[in-house]
Amino acid sequence: MNLVSQLVTKFEKVYISKESWESRVAERFRAVFPNEKIIMVEDHPYANHKGALSSEEFDQSKKEIFLTPFKGSFFKRCPGAKKGLACCNYFVLNLGLQCDMNCSYCYLQSYLNTPVLTFYSNIEDAISEMREMAEDHPEKSYRVGTGETIDSLSLDPITLYSKDLMEFFYEFPQWKLEFKTKSDHVDQFLSLKHQSNIIVSWSINPEIIVSNEEHGTASLKKRLQAARKCVDKGFPIAFHIDPVIWSPDWKQNYLGLVDEICKQFSPDQLPYISLGALRYQPEQKVMMRERFGYSSQVLRGEMHQGKDGKLRYDSRLRTQMFQTILDRFKSHSPLWKVFLCMETPENWLNTFSEVPHRIEEMNELFKPLPKIKSLNL
């Protein structure tokens, strides 16, 4: 079975709004899904749904797709741009909501209130928004990621949105686009032309965490193989070791992961590696317990509530984990660039003895950007 057919079998229904019916992405869905799975709808298929999702509804939301235009502003600052967290000036372009993979710690479990995977059919509006910004502020270079509320690439063999985005970023080489994924779906864009401003990145974890906690994702081996394919085609790549998850064997698991990365890649092939520790909203705990039970490691470590309301490991444990990983990278080569994601300035200080924008190799990523009034960013 080819990859597109495998993806098709994951879904029971594809709802397409009347407004989206003639869109290019709807045409692609209609071409690859059998007719009996396609349903044209005038309204949202779950317009009457109210309140938080039950764990059964959340499970079901991964089996149905809704194609609809997005009516708001696509372009948003990353949620890391909050008081109390050190932010790397990242912008997010959300092209959908929900994911076909199933990680035990996924924050969508406390975020999503619609029981269907939504895909926005009007990518041309997202690109127009970016074009307006690029033309209004030609001197600026933005870093944009598409993998915040939906995986950037897991369904890309069907949507082919990577192609539309890469065309825009080819025109504006000073901008950078990051595809962030836990899949190994890269073949559909490998032969497209690019200006080395498309960063393909993977959230990675030791294989034991992948197989216990990141259900339905590509194995670590497959993610690293996909990364190799991208490097061979001249794409910069990045790894996010995130979330770092505590277990009795955490040290040996993460040291093994660092050694594997350093064996297969060199610092010049990776602009940066980010580290983030497990974090989630307290209200997510119930759903995680119901959906994954106590076999999941994410419910075992002791967590404390931070200033942003999320549960995290104790700051000393986080520092110890980050420092262990950072030291191992630096023992392979001082050229590895590692930074912390969604972390407090205090933990930056504990890990690096400095706040990010004062560390020379981090300066470009973390220097504050001017406010863009027209977009209220």
Return residues touching ligand SF4 (CB under 6 A). 99, 101-103, 106, 108, 151, 182, 217
Q: Which is nearer to ligand SF4, 182 or 357 (CB)?
A: 182
Q: How far is the CB of 65 from ligand SF4 (least distance, A)?
A: 14
Task: Sheet containing 273-277: give its strands across.
Answer: 75-77, 90-93, 143-145, 176-181, 198-204, 237-244, 273-277, 338-340
Q: How far is the CB of 104 from ligand SF4 (least distance, A)?
A: 9
Could you tell me the smallest distance in angstroms from the CB atom of residue 353 to ligand SF4?
Answer: 31
Question: How many Å from the N-terminal Cα to the C-terminal Cα in the chain?
Answer: 44
Q: From the CB of 99, what's the least distance to ligand SF4, in Å?
A: 3
Structure tokens at 333: 């080569």
Q: Which is nearer to ligand SF4, 4 or 101 (CB)?
A: 101
Q: How far apart are CA 133 and CA 130, in angstroms?
A: 5
95 or 134: CB nearest ligand SF4:
95
In terms of Cβ atoms closer than 10 Å to its own Cβ (0-12, 13-18, 19+), residue 55 is middle
Strand segments (E) across 146-245: 176-181, 198-204, 214-215, 237-244
Q: Tell me the two tokens of residue 50.
A: 């109210």
Closest CB 354 distance from ligand SF4, rounded Å: 30
Q: Least Å distance between CB 276 and ligand SF4?
A: 12
Q: Which two tokens stand for residue 322?
A: 């980050």
- Name the DSSP letter for residue 369: P
Nearer to ligand SF4, 197 or 297 (CB): 297
Considering the complex, state which of residue 154 and residue 350 has its C-beta at the smaller distance from ligand SF4: 154
| Residue 79 tokens, joined | 């949620």
User: Coil, strand or helix: which one is 146?
Assistant: coil
Q: Please report how close the Cβ of residue 102 comes to ligand SF4 at its closest, in angstroms.
A: 5
**Which residue's CB is nearer to ligand SF4, number 21 or number 111?**
111
Shortest reach from residue 230's CB to ligand SF4, in Å: 18
Question: According to the 3-state scheme, what is the secondary structure of 53-108?
Answer: CCHHHHHHCCCEEEEECCCCCCEEECCCCCCCCCCCCEEEECCEECCCCEECCCHH
Instruction: For residue 111, give the 3-state DSSP assignment.
Output: coil
CB 260 to ligand SF4: min, Å? 20
Q: To which H or E segment does residue 118 belong? A: strand 117-120
Q: Residue 3, CB half-sphere, CA atoms under 13 Å: how many? A: 14
Residue closer to ligand SF4, measured from CB, 182 or 185: 182
Report yes or no: 192 and 200 within 8 Å, Cβ to Cβ. Answer: no
Q: Residues 6 or more apart from 334 whose CB is under 8 A from it?
A: none
- Please, which residue, 134 or 218, has the CB nearer to ligand SF4? 218
Neighbours of 51 (CB within 10 A): 7
Tracing tokens 């000036």 back to the chain, one arrives at 89
Instruction: Report in angstroms how near the CB of residue 237 gets to ligand SF4 at its nearest.
Output: 17
Structure tokens at 202: 């993977």
- Residue nearer to ligand SF4 on the CB measure, 134 or 153: 153
Closest to ligand SF4 by CB, 214 or 343: 214
